[in-house]
Amino acid sequence: MRTRNLLVLLIMLLIGACVDPLKVPDIALEEGLVVDGAITDQPGPYTVQLFSTLSLDGDLDKRKYIPGATVTISDDHGHTVTLTENATGTYQTDADEIQGVVGYTYQVKITLGDGRQYESTPVLLEPAGTVDRVFFQFQENSINQNDLTKPQDAFAVYLDATGTPGASNFFRWRWKGTFHYIAFPELRTRGVGMVEIPDPVPCSGWVYTDTAGLEQIGPCECCDCWAPQYSTDALVSENDFVSEMEFKTVRIAQIPIDKRLFYEKYHIEVEQMSVSQDIYAFWKLVKAQQQSATDLFQPAVVKIKGTIRCTSDPGEKAYGIFSASAVTKNSVFLRRLDIPKGIPPIDTLKTDCRQIYTGATNQRPPFW
Amino acid sequence: MPLTDIKDGQPLAEVLVELEKSYPVRFFFASEWLEPYTVDSQFKGMPIKSVLDELLRGSDIRYSYRFGYAVIFIRDPQRALEHEARLKTAIAKKKTIESRELGDRRKYKPGNRATITGNVKDESTRHPMAGVTVLVNDVETTATDEKGNYTINVLAGENIIHFKSVNFRERVVDARIYSSATLDIILEEAPTILDEVLISEQAVLNRRISQTSLRITDMKRAPTFLGEVDLIKQVQNQPGVTTVGEVAQGFNVRGGGVDQNLVLYDGVPVFNTSHALGFFTAFNADAVSQVSFYKGGIPAEFGGRVSSVLDIKSKEGPLDKWHGGGGIGILSSYLTAGGPVKRDTSSIMASVRSSYSDWVLKTIKSNYQDIQSASVSFYDASLKYTHKVNNKSKLTLSGYTSYDRFSLTNDTLYTSRNIAASIHYDRTFTEKLFGTLSVSFGKYTYGTSDDDPTQAYDLSYGITYPSVKLDFNYEGEHKLSFGVHHTWYDFVPGRLEATQSESIVKNIDMGHERSSESALYFSDAFYWREKFLLEAGLRASFFNRVGEGVTYHYAEGQPRLRQNITDSTVYKGGESMKTYFGLEPRVSLRYTLDAFASIKLGYNRMYQYMHLISNTAAVTPVDIWQSSNTYFKPQIADQVSLGYYRAINENMYEAYVEGFYKVTQNVLDFRDGASLILNKNLETTLLPGDAEAYGVEVSSSKIKGRLLGSLSYTYSRSWRKVDGAWEEEKINDGNRYPSNYDQPHVVQLNWRYGLSRRIFFSGTFVYHTGRPMSLPISGYIVDGVPVITFSDRNKYRIPDYHRLDLALIIEGTHKRKKILDGTWVISFYNAYGRKNAYAVFFQDNGKGFYNPYKLSVVGTIVPSVTYSFKF
């Protein structure tokens, strides 16, 4: 509940409250193995990644992967597959070697190069249920804590879902957003002495020569792009308050009304993944951690254990999960027309559109 | 020189004069010395020497035979000199001394002891005054009880008796006491003068162990935060008391939680003592007459909370004429008025305080549009009606309410309301026995709501607690108190309702949780061999959680988790679901070493049948009060305290050192990631553990003179241990860890210097170790979601806290008769602008991980000006 943050914010301003970075005592980083792996009922390959925990001020994009391990996935029906290390620390199954089956129980076992052994809590692959509907609502002034320097309005995206009778119906949701935007790489310029001269990006299809000036020599390859966005929030079903197995109007995402995101329209695809009780408990704690960590009141400490343990040395720290899920999907387009207000035109991005967002591509997605 | 011709009852002086006629002897004496002495026929034929020896034994009169003819009588120089010295001191201090003769002159026997009893009343209101200190020959002896009565036992002869009460002109009686007698006293309110005798209502030697009385004058002459005179902030200045920060409701006593303090307003518990989330106290200091604070050795009449008792008594209206006052501050104003409804029979006292802070918010220019559309408001009000039914009985009606409201973004609203109303009927049965019947009603409701159509909701909580109490006091050689209390509780642990049809909020109603708490107590205070004052008591409490309700059963041999629920029992309305019974012994012992020093010992066991469920260090608007049930056993605290107290330099200074050790069972702490709001299985998210606290408080005060002040240092620790049978039911692997309020070193200094009779410079300095916290230590990403690993619970600490507050108080002239008496208070809170960390929180560093930041709620010096007046 953001109420409390606002309350404090309010009084803070009254009495000159302030926020400063806290100098934290030097804390020795507790390095431990992290396992991030999953098997689903969708076709493989499935990936298990092994890496170390990172210090919080470190660069998260530079994961410290752990190579040279032996990783196996086994089920309770006598199958065991050994994964291949395709990239450093990234272990994959062969494409059709194994596929998750509802009702089977899966477990990962890991032996590191130095002999330390780990295993995951066995997880039951439960049915996925259905995502009946993904829908949205325009909400004014609903984000960024009314910080007027940032977008205020947003689409709230919801879903209605149904579980499977007889199953435990613990779900985790994740989403992928896709939006189309344009750039103007042909308008790039560069300074020569005191003057700016055109310097179109080659992929724009335009060239500039002193003699002929600007000239289009081909189609633009980097003017129209589609960029993905992924959920970073832990989203799990609230099974506490649901007597049956229907989940109504579960808020999944909040997409800010932004001139680039809504240059044309925004596609959001939601995946509903069944999770076992242990994995559900893990995500639930992550959710609690995310909700409370930025609370201005004393944030609740949420220690998250995960489902991995070291079998060769019980004192050795291990983090992460190996999950087994059935997956079902649904999606919806958020259109510019659905915004009941005018929004400004897209800004003039004078560069290769693929370089603006990570994962951006100039290939129109099949569903577009 | 035998006595030959004497009559029964003949004055000694006369006999001696007779003897001079018959023998060559001269007696030298002052006739008033021998006035009380008479001879009777039994002395016939005895030598005069034996007669004098017999008569004067144990008195302060001596004699010597000199020069072969002279018998010179002298007063015992020591006692006489002391007497003279005391009178001189009193005169030097410009105190008026009244001479009184008490008792029957004929019953005077030197060396006899006499009992003086009496009653002390307030001149203006004619109400009996409790807690008036009575000093005999500069040695503090006793204090008046609740009915204004006192009893002292003195050596017959000349004695100087002082009657002192804060804010009242001291009365000094030079009493020649012949035999037991009564001495009634009326004290008049003192115009506040520079050399005001600032003995607390009871000086350190005489108080119970771990007890303090807060002085209203101290509060009014202390620096304020935004101009609000603050009772709770004064409590927080007591040794052994800490707070987690400015935005913290309540206070922590000796390592205990905020919910462990019993705050009584005219006998009715008040759950929320703060306005605006803890920035200000919800009591108007002008409407309060007496505040007693117990942190150990708690008397048997109090129960229901395990850490401390803050007993606030409101002012009664004067019985003779109307008086009033008010104050104008930056944030709020208040007005109080009181006077007779029927002269000398009934009176009324009313007070109102209200904020007008919205305009402050409106003037703030900010990027945050919330601020400008927000509103913060609060008020509190009290009313007291007193009616003397007859000489023996009195009826008092008291009502108190406070209300808070924050409105944010035009949508989100937080409200809280306290109501405490009571009717007291006091009756004196005999001179020594009196009783009080109280019927009270209390209610505390709070919640948040939002009226944005799509998510409109109203989340409300509440506790309703009507109560009946019958208390008796017997004042004799044994001071007995006994009584019976009964309280009904109706908790609403959460009700979420969608308030508009479009709202997507699901209605969730946690229902009502009803329970009752009864107690029977008895306590006896008496002197043993003069030097020991022993007060021993026992309280028996009984708790009954009644239906309707559901108790869930969990699989045996498995951790108590939701998935392990096997069954549930549904109870009908009124059906008993769980009962607890507790025996709570209370002992308080004082051993007087000499006139200047005493040793005190206290022990108490307390039961608490309700719990404040929170997963934050500070109390927040959405914390839940929960009664005990099958899984939440009552909190049981045992505390032992021991102290040495000393008055120094004629009571100019006092000092003490007090140690305590306290263990509390069944203290609840939350499981990691616990979701507390609207949780029907709270027992799965809270873990019972033990708390242990110990410490030493050293304090010294200067209580007389131009400069007054105190300096104290406390070393204390507060630990928790949660070691359940399962890994899921342990915190920090079952090892003990510091509680949220573990602040080992605390230094408190406050002073008040009289620059003149009307101008005071006062200040407060506090230092305490930063409170414990847990820090994120590393992180990782699983399936695109960042996850943080935390340190063990409360392994690290926020930076140390220190703060200096200064104030200049300019009071009006001190003429007793005048129309308006105005006071200006200019305060500088946080004078050197220390950015004390209130909380540590984490902000996304742009990569999904969090970096720690400290929030300083008060980040600069906060000046304020307040004007208050009296008429």
Residue numbers in B near A303 (CB within 8 A): 672, 789-790, 793
Residue numbers in B near A34 (CB within 8 A): 780, 782
Q: Are strands B261-265 and B308-314 parallel, antiparallel or unpaired?
A: parallel
- Which residues, other chains included, contact B271 with Cβ-Cβ below 8 Å and sequence gap of 6+? B263, B418, B442, B444, B463, B625
Residue of B nearest to A52 (CA): B780
Of B840, B751, B762, nearest to B801 by C-alpha is B840
* CB within 8 Å: A55 and B778: yes
Q: How confident is the model at residue B539 (pLDDT cuts 50, 70, 90)?
A: very high
> With contact defined as beta carbons under 8 Å apart, do B855 and B840 qualify?
yes
Residue type, A289: Q
Residue of B nearest to A144 (CA): B368
Residue with tokens 């003068």: B193
CA distance B320 to chain A (A): 44
* CB within 8 Å: B279 and A11: yes
Q: How confident is the model at residue B3 (pLDDT cuts 50, 70, 90)?
A: low
Structure tokens at A293: 């960590």
> With contact defined as beta carbons under 8 Å apart, do B208 and B588 qualify?
yes
Structure tokens at B778: 């590393």
> With contact defined as beta carbons under 8 Å apart, do A299 and B793 qualify?
no
* CB within 8 Å: A22 and B837: yes
**Model pLDDT, residue B369:** 46
Q: For chains A and B, what is the number of CB pairs under 8 angstroms? A: 255
Structure tokens at B822: 């105005």
Of B486, B484, B510, B487, nearest to B497 by C-alpha is B510
The size of chain B, in residues, is: 871
Query: For residues B175 and B169, what is the distance between their CA atoms, to the nearest angstrom?
Result: 18
Radius of gyration (C-alpha) of chain A in whole angstroms: 24
Of B757, B742, B739, nearest to B809 by C-alpha is B757
Of A233, A326, A329, nearest to A284 by C-alpha is A233
Please state which CATH number belongs to domain B77-187. Answer: 2.60.40.1120
Tens of pLDDT, residues B490-521: 999 888 888 888 776 778 888 899 999 999 99
> With contact defined as beta carbons under 8 Å apart, do B804 and B764 qualify?
yes
* CB within 8 Å: B406 and A293: no
**Model pLDDT, residue A4:** 42
In this complex, the residue of A13, A17, A51 whose CB is nearest that of residue B856 is A17
Handedness of CA B292, B293, B299, B302 (dihedral sign): positive
Query: For residues B786 and A233, what is the distance between their CA atoms, to the nearest angstrom?
Result: 8
> With contact defined as beta carbons under 8 Å apart, do A156 and A344 qualify?
no
Residue numbers in B near A232 (CB within 8 A): 784-786, 848
* CB within 8 Å: B371 and A9: yes
ipTM of this predicted complex?
A: 0.86
Tens of pLDDT, residues B253-305: 998 888 899 999 999 999 888 887 677 788 888 888 888 889 888 899 999 99
Interface test with A, best of B851, B855, B862 (most A CBs within 10 A): B855
CATH topology of domain B211-870: Maltoporin; Chain A (2.40.170)
**Model pLDDT, residue B820:** 72
Higher pLDDT, B71 or B617: B71
Structure tokens at B164: 């002192």
> With contact defined as beta carbons under 8 Å apart, do B134 and B150 qualify?
yes
Query: For residues B413 and B403, what is the distance between their CA atoms, to the nearest angstrom?
Result: 13
In this complex, the residue of B782, B851, B860 whose CB is nearest that of residue A57 is B851
**Domain residue ranges of chain B, discontinuous segments joined by +:** 10-75, 77-187, 211-870
Q: How confident is the model at residue B202 (pLDDT cuts 50, 70, 90)?
A: very low
- Provide the greatest CA pair distance for chain B: 123
Would you call the peptide bond into B239 cis, given omega within 30 degrees of 0 as the criterion? no
Q: Under DSSP, is residue B666 helix (H, G, I), strand (E, B) or coil?
A: strand
Using the predicted structure, report yes or no on whether residue B321 has a pLDDT greater than 80.
yes
Determine which of B376-380, B461-465, B741-745 has the lowest per-residue pLDDT on average.
Answer: B376-380
Residue of B nearest to A3 (CA): B412
**From the DSSP assignment, how many helices (H) and strands (E) are in chain B?**
8, 58
Residue of B nearest to A317 (CA): B789
- Which residues, other chains included, contact B469 with Cβ-Cβ below 8 Å and sequence gap of 6+? B267, B436, B437, B438, B439, B440, B483, B484, B485, B486
What mean pLDDT value characterizes chain A? 83
Structure tokens at A165: 């009778």
Tens of pLDDT, residues B389-399: 888 889 999 99
Tens of pLDDT, residues B447-464: 888 777 767 888 889 999
- Phi and psi at B52, nearest 5°, equal -65, -40
Tens of pLDDT, residues B123-138: 767 778 888 888 887 7
* CB within 8 Å: A296 and B839: yes
Query: For residues B241 and B718, what is the distance between their CA atoms, to the nearest angstrom?
Result: 12
CB burial string A289-322: b at 16+ within 10 A, e below: bbbbbebbbbbbbbbbbbbbbbeeeeeebbbbbb
**Model pLDDT, residue B605:** 95
Residue type, A251: R
Residue with tokens 């129209």: A224
Query: For residues B398 and B767, what is the distance between their CA atoms, to the nearest angstrom?
Result: 38
Dihedral class, residue B152 (left if φ above 0, else alpha if ψ from -120 to 50, else beta) = beta
Residue of B nearest to A55 (CA): B778
* CB within 8 Å: A284 and B673: yes
CA dihedral B643, B530, B108, B44 (to 10 degrees): -140
Residue numbers in A near B279 (CB within 8 A): 11
Q: Under DSSP, is residue B332 helix (H, G, I), strand (E, B) or coil?
A: strand
In this complex, the residue of A36, A277, A302 whose CB is nearest that of residue B783 is A36
Tens of pLDDT, residues B671-712: 876 777 788 888 888 889 999 999 999 999 888 788 888 999
Q: DSSP letters along B757-780, please?
A: SSEEEEEEEEEEPPPEE--EEEEE
- Which residues, other chains included, contact B798 with Cβ-Cβ below 8 Å and sequence gap of 6+? A22, B770, B771, B772, B773, B837, B839, B840, B854
- Which residues, other chains included, contact B390 with Cβ-Cβ below 8 Å and sequence gap of 6+? none
* CB within 8 Å: A53 and B859: no
Residue of B nearest to A36 (CA): B782
**Model pLDDT, residue A215:** 85
Mean pLDDT value of segment B432-445: 93
Using the predicted structure, report yes or no on whether residue B636 has a pLDDT greater than 90.
yes
Residue A331 exposed, middle or buried by CB count within 10 Å (0-12, 13-18, 19+): middle
Higher pLDDT, B372 or B212: B212
Angle of CA points B472, B475, B480, to nearest 5°:
50
Most confident of A64-68, B167-171, B190-194, B615-619: A64-68
Residue numbers in B near A234 (CB within 8 A): 785
Query: For residues A321 and A212, what is the distance between their CA atoms, to the nearest angstrom?
Result: 61
What mean pLDDT value characterizes chain B? 82
Handedness of CA B74, B78, B82, B85 (dihedral sign): positive
Handedness of CA B832, B837, B838, B842 (dihedral sign): positive
* CB within 8 Å: A8 and B855: yes
Query: For residues B179 and B103, what is the distance between their CA atoms, to the nearest angstrom?
Result: 4
- Provide the greatest CA pair distance for chain A: 76
Of B47, B121, B116, B111, nearest to B79 by C-alpha is B111
The span from the first CA to the last CA of chain A, in angstroms, equals: 36
CATH topology of domain B10-75: Phage tail protein beta-alpha-beta fold (3.55.50)
Q: Among residues of chain A, what percentage have pLDDT more than 70?
A: 85
Q: How confident is the model at residue B367 (pLDDT cuts 50, 70, 90)?
A: very low
* CB within 8 Å: B848 and A17: no
Write out residues in chain A with pLDDT < 70, as ranges: 1-19, 23-30, 57-61, 144-149, 240-244, 292-301
Residue with tokens 């049956």: A244
In this complex, the residue of B369, B618, B848 whose CB is nearest that of residue A148 is B369
Interface test with B, best of A1, A5, A10 (most B CBs within 10 A): A10
Higher pLDDT, B214 or B692: B692
Q: How confident is the model at residue B718 (pLDDT cuts 50, 70, 90)?
A: very high
